[in-house]
Structure 1
Amino acid sequence: MAAESQLNPTQPVNQQIYRILRRDIVHCLIPPGTPLSEKEVSVRFDVSRQPVREAFIKLAENGLIQIRPQRGSYVNKISLSQVRNGCFVRQAIECAVVRRAATMITDAQSYQLEQNLHQQRIAIDRHQLNDFFQLDDEFHQLLATIADCQLAWDTVENIKATIDRVRYMSLDHISSPDMLLRQHQDIFSALEQRDVAGVDAAMTQHLQEISESVLLIRQENRDWFSEE
């Protein structure tokens, strides 16, 4: 298990524990099949079991862990069905988001996206995959902000935990950051041109990358996947 255990006293404890455990699972620092103990996690963060239990419930809702009464909790294997369904829903939402964003984007928002893309390039050049992964999410979140629909991003965020594990595993050798950045730049270019059809096509191509990479990742890590 990853060593990070420092919590911010000004933020809700259960939410912080959820975010840290979610990241550890997505980054495969806690591999599929690993048992999770409320007691061990509470000791790690020096908190009572209640916020840990609440974090576990949220992780279970996102499909990352399974809570078995009287038997303990375990990190779920990566469900191919959940990945496929999550990709389908995410594509439907995010294509609608960028079509709307193309009609609403301002110069200030265009500058924000451009700065994010610049930071992505820096992270790639420095081989900082974790930073790139976060900036990738921030890019997509900015698109929802431009479309004035935070609910769209909140919905995507709630369904993409399983997808994120595949995204992270594919970064270093299947879906290269350079390729993903080029796709982000294609989305940005279409937005700048207010090209609704073009941005829809660019986003569709970008999100289909996960559907194609999941089968290759599964071949490399067959024990971490389930057909369910």
Structure 2
Amino acid sequence: MIPIRAATTAQQVHDWLYRCVLRGDLLPGTRLSETEIAAQVNLSRQPVREAFIRLAADGLAEVLPQRGTYIGRISMRAVLSARFIREAVESDLARHVAATRPDLTAMAAELTVQERCDVEGDVPGFIESDDRFHRAMALAADQGAVWQDLERLKAQMNRLRHLSMRVFDRSQTIAQHRAVLTALQAGDADGAEDAIRTHLRQMLTELPQMAAAHPDYFTD
């Protein structure tokens, strides 16, 4: 588990644990100890207990009476639901951006970051850049609030991505991003929509493969 330098509230502990779960530092089935984490962050057990409850409310942990708190399994249904919503929303965003032709410098810059992270094997950095790429498209469409809504939906999807990006070819994702950006820069709405749909449907292939490889990590 990665230590945090300073934590004074249950929210800060929650945010730290939330990131650890999404990044795969805390795998499904891991038991969380109030005593150990409280000692690690130099807090009493009460804010840690509150953080566990919040994590459970996020669907990322299970609080089992008389047994303890465990990191929950990845919900395949939640992954597929978030992917479906993202495709519907982002295909419309892509069409809007292609039609309005805003500045796409931020999206282009993320491709460079992703290439570097791929070479260095920096999976967390790659995924953070991936998120910024999609967020930049939403901002280019003047729909930053829409991206915030999507962020709240895709916690389980991000857990899958941190697993799959360690296994699957990240250069394929970069190529898909480049196809999206090229179509947007050309003002090709149909091409941009097709490219973003192709990109987001990649998860339909990855999910069953990862579930087969790690059955204990997933639930329906």
TM-score by length of 1: 0.86
The residue number in structure 2 matching 1:62 is 58
The residue number in structure 2 matching 1:206 is 199
Whether 1:166 and 2:160 are equivalent positions in the alignment is yes
Whether 1:226 and 2:205 are equivalent positions in the alignment is no
Over the matched positions of the two proteins, sequence identity in percent amounts to 31
SS in 2 for 1:164: helix
The residue number in structure 2 matching 1:3 is 2
Q: Tell me if structure 1 keeps the 8 A contact 2:91–2:197.
A: yes
Q: After TM superposition, give the deviation of residue 177 of structure 1 in Å.
A: 1.2
The residue number in structure 2 matching 1:138 is 132
1:197 is matched by which residue type in structure 2? D
Q: Tell me if structure 2 keeps the 8 A contact 1:83–1:162.
A: yes
Q: Tell me if structure 1 keeps the 8 A contact 2:96–2:141.
A: yes
Pick which of 139-148 and 71-80 moved more.
Answer: 71-80
From the superposition, tell whether residues 13 and 95 of structure 1 become closer, same or farther in structure 2 (CA, over 3 Å): farther
**Gaps in structure 2 of 5+ consecutive residues:** none
From the superposition, tell whether residues 16 and 202 of structure 1 become closer, same or farther in structure 2 (CA, over 3 Å): farther
1:64 is matched by which residue type in structure 2? L
- Cα deviation digits, residues 62-118 of structure 1 (max 9, x gap): 3211234554322111122122112112222222222222233423xx112111111
1: distance between equivalents of 2:132 and 2:4?
A: 24
Q: Tell me if structure 1 keeps the 8 A contact 2:106–2:133.
A: no
- Cα deviation digits, residues 15-48 of structure 1 (max 9, x gap): 4433321222123221111222334323222234
Q: Tell me if structure 2 keeps the 8 A contact 1:62–1:158.
A: no
**Gaps in structure 1 of 5+ consecutive residues:** none
Alignment of 1:1-228 (within 5 A): 2-7=1-6, 13-49=9-45, 51-68=47-64, 71-107=67-103, 110-174=104-168, 176-227=169-220
From the superposition, tell whether residues 137 and 67 of structure 1 become closer, same or farther in structure 2 (CA, over 3 Å): same
1:81 is matched by which residue type in structure 2? R
1: distance between equivalents of 2:74 and 2:26?
A: 13
TM-score by length of 2: 0.89
2:84 is matched by which residue type in structure 1? F
1: distance between equivalents of 2:91 and 2:54?
A: 27
Q: Tell me if structure 2 keeps the 8 A contact 1:97–1:152.
A: no
Pick which of 34-43 and 206-215 moved more.
Answer: 34-43
Q: After TM superposition, give the deviation of residue 52 of structure 1 in Å.
A: 3.3
From the superposition, tell whether residues 172 and 204 of structure 1 become closer, same or farther in structure 2 (CA, over 3 Å): same
Count, aligned residues: 220
